[in-house]
A and B are shown apart, each in its own frame.
Chain A
Amino acid sequence: DAGVIQSPRHEVTEMGQEVTLRCKPISGHNSLFWYRQTMMRGLELLIYFNNNVPIDDSGMPEDRFSAKMPNASFSTLKIQPSEPRDSAVYFCASSFRADYNQPQHFGDGTRLSIL
Chain B
Amino acid sequence: SQQGEEDPQALSIQEGENATMNCSYKTSINNLQWYRQNSGRGLVHLILIRSNEREKHSGRLRVTLDTSKKSSSLLITASRAADTASYFCATDRSSNTGKLIFGQGTTLQVKP
B98 in contact with A101 (CB, 8 Å): no
Q: How large is the interface on A (under 10, 10 to 19, 20 to 34, 35 or more residues)?
A: 20 to 34
Residues from chain B with a CB closer than 8 A to the CB of A95 are 98
Which A residue's beta carbon lies closest to that of B49?
A101
- Our count of residue pairs bridging A and B at CB distance below 8 angstroms stands at 58
With the chains together, A95 CA to B31 CA distance in Å? 15
**Contact among B31, B42, B98, B103 with A50 in the assembled complex (CB-CB below 8 Å):** B98
Taken residue by residue from 59 to 99, chain A's Cβ proximity to chain B (1 for < 8 Å, 0 otherwise) reads as 00000000000000000000000000000000101010100
Helix, strand, loop or mixed for chain A's interface?
strand
With the chains together, A107 CA to B42 CA distance in Å? 5
Question: If A43-B88, A108-B41 touch, does A101 touch B105 (CB 8 Å cutoff)?
Answer: no
Which B residue's beta carbon lies closest to that of A91?
B42
With the chains together, A31 CA to B97 CA distance in Å? 10
